[in-house]
């Protein structure tokens, strides 16, 4: 089992290396495949031993071997995070059809998380195809199906649309579209878990940043990362969280 989990970690980290390419190039409108991986500072093409996930970053001490420019720590963070997600989702779903679907969604949400956190961008070229993909995959997810998926997408879209229309500038259109995607992925009623987790995490982090004066009241705090965290929490623990809530409510009645 440990060897299998290690293989999954290495596979996830390798995929994470490609996700870094997506995060870097897609906002610039560049090809994901050409030119080959290179240093952004000096343009030097990277050798295979400079592209080993996590280990190359540690070996190079976070700097380009050719020009000594600092490499973003995000590179190793994404590789490590995706490396951990692969065995976690395996432990959750095992060798079932849900596993590859959950892996696709986890990679998708990780890209959106980092991109919005770094650049405050939620790209239509990511969200729109993902909406279609979520609808197509919904019949393959046990207990979901197109009807519940659509109900989740519409409900979360409406929930996010209200503050977007009332408080102009307080929330971006990308957040509203992303909420629809989260709803399609989780479906109804699990979308309520995703929404709850997103709002709680967003509120707590925003309060912390304001209290510590790391952000001013008029400075934007991207909400996309919290939506993706709520989605991932729901994919992994949503059923358990909803059942716990239902039991707690029944216990109070």
**pLDDT tens digit string along 154-182?**
999 999 999 888 876 667 889 999 999 99
Nearest Cα residue to 20 out of 84, 103, 113, 120 = 113
Cα(90)–Cα(100) distance, integer angstroms: 9
CA 127 to chain centre: 12
Q: pTM here?
A: 0.91
Q: What is the mean pLDDT of each run of 10 residues along the chain (253 residues)?
A: 89 95 91 80 76 86 82 91 94 91 96 94 95 96 94 96 80 92 96 95 89 74 93 90 77 60
- pLDDT for 72 equals 84
- pLDDT for 188 equals 95
- pLDDT for 170 equals 66
**pLDDT tens digit string along 69-110?**
888 889 999 999 999 999 999 998 988 999 999 999 999 999
Bond preceding residue 35 cis, omega within 30 of 0:
yes
Tell me how crowded residue 87 is: count the other CB atoms within 10 A of its CB: 20
């Amino acid at each position: 089992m440990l060897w299998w989990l290690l293989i999954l970690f290495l596979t996830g980290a390798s995929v994470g290396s490609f996700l870094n390419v997506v995060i870097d190039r897609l906002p610039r409108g560049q090809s994901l495949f050409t030119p080959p991986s290179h240093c952004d500072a000096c343009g030097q093409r990277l050798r295979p031993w400079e592209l080993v996930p996590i280990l190359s970053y540690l070996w190079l001490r976070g700097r380009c071997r050719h020009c000594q420019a600092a490499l973003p720590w995000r590179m190793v963070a994404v590789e490590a995070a995706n490396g951990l997600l692969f065995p976690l989702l395996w432990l959750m779903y095992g060798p079932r059809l849900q596993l590859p679907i959950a892996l696709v969604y986890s990679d998708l949400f990780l890209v959106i998380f980092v991109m919005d956190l770094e650049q405050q961008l939620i790209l239509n070229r990511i969200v729109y195809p993902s909406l279609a993909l979520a609808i197509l995959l919904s019949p393959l997810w046990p207990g979901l199906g197109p009807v519940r998926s659509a109900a989740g997408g519409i409900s979360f879209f409406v929930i996010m649309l209200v503050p977007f229309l009332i408080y102009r500038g307080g929330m971006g259109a990308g957040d509203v579209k992303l909420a629809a995607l989260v709803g399609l992925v989780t479906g109804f009623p699990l979308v309520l878990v995703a929404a709850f987790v997103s709002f709680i995490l967003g509120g707590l982090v925003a309060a912390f940043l304001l209290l510590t004066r790391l952000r001013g009241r008029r400075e934007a705090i991207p909400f996309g990362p919290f939506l993706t965290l709520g989605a991932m929490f729901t994919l992994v623990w949503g059923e358990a969280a909803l059942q716990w809530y239902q039991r707690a409510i029944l216990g109070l009645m």
